[in-house]
Amino acid sequence: MASRTMASRIERAECGTILDFAAEARARGTDVIVHRIGGGAAVFAGPGQPFNKVAGLGFAEIDPASLDGMERVFDARGAELRVELATIADPDAGKLLTQRGYTLVGYENVLGLALDAGMIERLVPALEADVARGIVVSRAGGETRLWIETVADAFGHPDQFDGPPPTESFDRETIVNVFSASSGTPGMTLYLARRGGEVAGGGAIRVSDGLTQLAGAATLPSHRRRGVQSALLRARLIDAARQGCDLAVVTTEPGSKSQQNVQRAGFTLLYARAVLIRAARR
């Protein structure tokens, strides 16, 4: 179970992720809005970008004047505001947002796993067994473009699951662009999985202050149900632990195949995030 201290640490990392993405997009010439607010931040990098969001709210006081300013800036761009608010955050944050017209549209789950020496001892034999079965996971290194194309193709064929529909989806071009921008951000490491010598899928981690965020995990349709995702997960967890991380976290759609996979590996549900949307106003 997550404490507020743990949740605050995770939400700071999430906030850091969108700020890193924003910095990379700016370096590529994109006109990006960044607005710091209530211990978190809001980012907008143009219509339909996956990291257009407000992250990290609810663990510090929210200044209404700063909230007014954020809304004015986004309204001027015709941009909606998407807030991902941890359910373990200060309830007054949610109350304030709903009073201002932010509407609940869904949830996402945050799961975690403690990383320690015992975990590595358990996972290493399983990873060796993966290799014996022909599934090899390695850092992408100079194969960044291959990683981007592989993961984008895999995301284009999502698994069906018995849960609520995702609160957002993106076309292939958008996915390729955001992975191209994010693949070189600080603390990010990319991994490719090969099965029988063929590229089968990919995944990534972002390491920040001893915490690793799992992201970008996807398997090509022809290689699904063969243990590729489990091998990718094991390899990334071992690598993160060896880098000194003590906690791994992952965000999933409720009831999704991704959630099932990580729970089988020992992850537990720490808390959810409520997704709140405020449409742009003229």
Q: Give the per-residue pLDDT at 185.
A: 87
Q: What is the CATH number of domain 112-270?
A: 3.40.630.30
Mean pLDDT of 265-271: 95
- pLDDT-derived band at 73 (thresholds 50, 70, 90) equals very high
Average pLDDT value for the chain: 92
Q: Give the per-residue pLDDT at 136.
A: 97
- Reported as a single tens digit per residue, the pLDDT across 88-140 is 999 999 999 999 999 999 999 999 999 988 888 899 999 999 999 999 999 99
What pTM value is reported for the model? 0.92
- Annotated domain spans of the chain: 4-109+273-278, 112-270
Mean pLDDT of 201-230: 94
pLDDT surpasses 80 at 169: no
- pLDDT-derived band at 268 (thresholds 50, 70, 90) equals very high
Q: Give the per-residue pLDDT at 171.
A: 82
- pLDDT-derived band at 160 (thresholds 50, 70, 90) equals low
Q: Which residues contact 17 (CB under 8 A, 6 or more apart)?
A: 51, 55, 185, 206, 208, 213
- Reported as a single tens digit per residue, the pLDDT across 10-57 is 999 999 999 999 998 888 888 999 999 999 999 999 888 888 999 999
Q: Give the per-residue pLDDT at 163.
A: 66
